[in-house]
Amino acid sequence: MPLTEDFWTLDGQKSFGHLPGLVLDRTDPVPICLQWGTKQWGARHIGHKHAPFITQNSVGAPARHEVPWVIWKKLQQSGSIWTAEQAGKLKVSLPLSPSSLLILQLNEDDEPFFSVTTLYTHSRGLDGQNIGRYVGRKWLPKVIPVFHLPP
């Protein structure tokens, strides 16, 4: 059984995408990572709480890799970055069908990263302040990503 803090990897890397550093007054981009999590946050939460959304949007995913597959697909899109009510959290609105909201929590480790806490569909109305643009990480067509989570 994976541990709460374990990271899914994408082609051997912990990063599924990056937020521009300027959003946080930094010079370097900050990676977006997907951790196993709990029933309240992370891949485990997303797979449990938002199962219909994941099932509908994970066509083509390798077995048992549906959540990282959907996160990977969504982070290829571009969208807008919004502040959240809680300090250290940001929202990324990804408007391509289905319109989705990705909630990220900043982890101020030696190497800071944003952990995906949840992902779900949303309407256009968002609270908070628009603080920047997220530019999706495009992958080569027909290249299937390899996901891994420690056992």
**Percent above pLDDT 70 for the chain:** 97
Q: What is the pLDDT of residue 141?
A: 64
Amino acid at 42: G
Q: What is the pLDDT of residue 75?
A: 94
Which structure tokens are listed for 39?
Answer: 């029933």
The strand ranges marked E within 52-98 are 79-83, 89-94
Stated pTM of the model: 0.92
Which residues, in sequence order, are CB contacts of 85 under 8 Å at separation 6+? 127, 128
Q: What is the pLDDT of residues 90-117, one digit of tens each?
A: 999 998 888 999 999 999 878 899 999 9
Of 56-65, 95-104, 108-117, 136-145, the range with the lowest mean pLDDT is 136-145
- Rounded mean pLDDT, 4-31: 89
Domain ranges (residues) in the chain: 17-140
pLDDT band with cut points at 50, 70 and 90 for residue 39:
very high
CA–CA dist 69, 147 (Å, integer): 8
pLDDT at 143 over 90: no
